Amino acid sequence: MKWTRKTTEKIAELLQQIDIPVSANTVSRLLYQMDFSLRVNRKQIATNSSPYRDQQFQNISSLRSRFQRQGLPIISVDSKKRELIGNFKNAGAQWSSSPEQVNDHDFPSLASGKGIPYGIYDPQANRGVVFVGVSHDTSTFAVSSIRSWWCWEGRHHYAHANKLLILADAGGSNSVTNGVWKEQLQSRLCDRLGLSVTVCHYPTSTSKWNPIEHRLFSQISKNWAGVPLRTYETMLNYIRTTTTKTGLRVKAYLDRRDYPKGLKVSEDCLAALRITHLDPLPRWNYTLAPRM
């Protein structure tokens, strides 16, 4: 235990002090033979785990299978980490003859703007659409992005569909407790477009299993790794050129509209929702239908 954080050179020196002549290379070899290596902390222990977690995963799997059998659209949605637009360091590395010179501090005051990516991923078609906002990550922005996806992409690929399944995290702009999220889905998707929208939320602390995280967002991060996002066009181009061997294709659009924070909906508006909570786990699963 005294040696766990020491280098192999220091361990060799200490052994030599007690008349055990050994080199640092030998110490390293012996440690590896005993299954020791330099290790970092691993995030494995789930916190805030719900006792209904497995039941919700089974419910999501069942609904996905049902929609898929009927040829109905399924989308996975979420917001990606916001990015400062400007000459800032971007995590990762790229092949080049010399390193990119960027600002030594990431002060927001030095940015020309901020990019807030909201993604919609279609796991059946392996297609993604990302809307990059410039104001705030709100429920209004989220539903506006989903509505644009349906008008520009969804209704052409699923011409006869009148139902939509949305897989979303439990928090953020598409939070399970957010009344604005539900009101916007009702008014902008159900009432105006005639869609019946079923929403399934992943339990708290399980967002990494939302398909968009590992099928779309992680691929975008790999594509622009080490590239300073100096302009919105640079950001959009790297999103659009994200591909995988399995055939992923991505489109990206810039949304310059303002989406103010702090909007609330009244109790009367919530009461007027045409919402059906689904068993089991009605808090995480619900369907909004068009109002006549």
pLDDT (tens, 9 = 90+) of the chain, 292 residues, equals 566 778 899 999 999 999 999 999 999 999 999 888 888 888 777 666 678 999 999 999 999 999 999 999 999 999 999 999 999 999 998 888 888 999 999 999 999 999 999 999 999 999 999 999 999 999 999 999 999 999 999 999 999 999 999 999 999 999 999 999 999 999 999 999 999 999 999 999 898 999 999 999 999 999 999 999 999 999 999 999 999 999 999 999 999 999 999 999 999 999 999 999 999 899 999 999 999 7
User: What confidence score (pLDDT) does residue 109 get?
Assistant: 94
Give residue 3's pLDDT: 63
Are the beta carbons of 11 and 3 closer than 8 angstroms? yes
Q: Which two tokens stand for residue 46?
A: 């789930």
Tokens 């070899």 sit on residue: 29
Domains by residue range for the chain, with CATH: 1-41 (no CATH), 53-288 (3.30.420.10)
Crossing angle of helices 8-17 and 24-33, rounded to 10°: 110
pLDDT value for 44: 72
- Global pTM? 0.85
Please state, in angstroms and rounded to a whole number, the distance separating the CA atoms of residues 70 and 165: 12
pLDDT attached to residue 40: 82
pLDDT of the residue at 161 = 96
pLDDT at residue 2 in the model: 60
Q: What's the CA gap between 52 and 164, in Å, rounded?
A: 24
- Residue 292 pLDDT: 78
Query: For 44-195, where are the E strands, in sequence order?
Result: 74-79, 83-85, 113-122, 127-133, 163-168
pLDDT for 46 equals 66
Q: Which two tokens stand for residue 163?
A: 């139902």
Task: Give the pLDDT confidence score for residue 47 in this predicted structure.
Answer: 66
pLDDT of residue 36: 87
Tell me how far apart the alpha carbons of residues 107 and 135 are, in angstroms, rounded to a whole number. 17
